[in-house]
Structure 1
Amino acid sequence: MAEQRVRVVGSGREEPPTDRSVREIVEALRPQLQELTQKQVELAKLELAPVARKGGLATGLLVAGSVFLHLFLVFFSLTGIYLLNQVAGLPLWASGLIVSGILAIIGAVLAGAGASILRGLDPKPHRTIRTFQQNVEWLKGQFRG
């Protein structure tokens, strides 16, 4: 395989061609690329840390709110049971059965809607995959000639 001459361009002016092969240049750049990657990861961590903290706080508040809403639903259901017992004169077991049935129907409809949405989701990052493949093809083209 014949060695290729490579012209290295730096700071806007061309330098004369060197006898270094592409492989030698890539090997020389490897430590700099690794350091650049490490710095990018550090920057991402620093940038995302406050967002993660706020996200954790928001999640905790959502969980606490969900617990209180669940308790509200339980007491509201009990109120409905006693209301049916007092106003309609139904026995407590019949009132409980009616309220439970209504809750089961609402829960089934909501769960079915959520499951339907989840089935329709496509988790593949198509644009990212396509861009990555284009980059790989471009790199292959650079080494072919």
Structure 2
Amino acid sequence: MDTLHQNICIKPYKTLGRFIIALTIVLVGANFFIDQRESFAEYLLFAGNCIAMIYWAVAINTQKIVFSATSVNFIKMSVESDFALPRDLELSFDEINAVRLLGDHLFIYGTRGKVSFPLKPQSKTAIALKSAFEAHGIPFEINSSLVMHKP
């Protein structure tokens, strides 16, 4: 099957999400073996911390970038700034003018404006995005001093 007709799904924070899940499991498991809480408030604080970590892990694991045959979809991602609330955004490949990795941010310039989010130049996500955009005929420019060049 041709790669242009397959959906390509990229989860940018998959490793972080797995780490948070593992850390939560370890904390909950350790709670059963180390019982040093003396008051109900300490139990509530611990439970609140675990719930917050689970919520954070779920929020991180739902973030993804999906390439379809005609568009790229940013699902539950902060695409306006580093501190914006996550939302869904669909960009048709016809709307995209340029894709550039400048410094440690990916910028997608389109007819409706600019979308950006943090991205390390040599990360697995950057490599996957470069491949996916170029498979759809959109050049992916990397202009970052953070890229280490081999002599």
Do the structures match in fold with TM over 0.5?
no
TM-score, normalised relative to structure 1? 0.27
Larger radius of gyration: 1
Higher relative contact order (CA 8 A, sep 6+): 2
Q: Which has the higher helix share?
A: 1
Q: Which has the higher strand share?
A: 2
TM-score, normalised relative to structure 2? 0.26
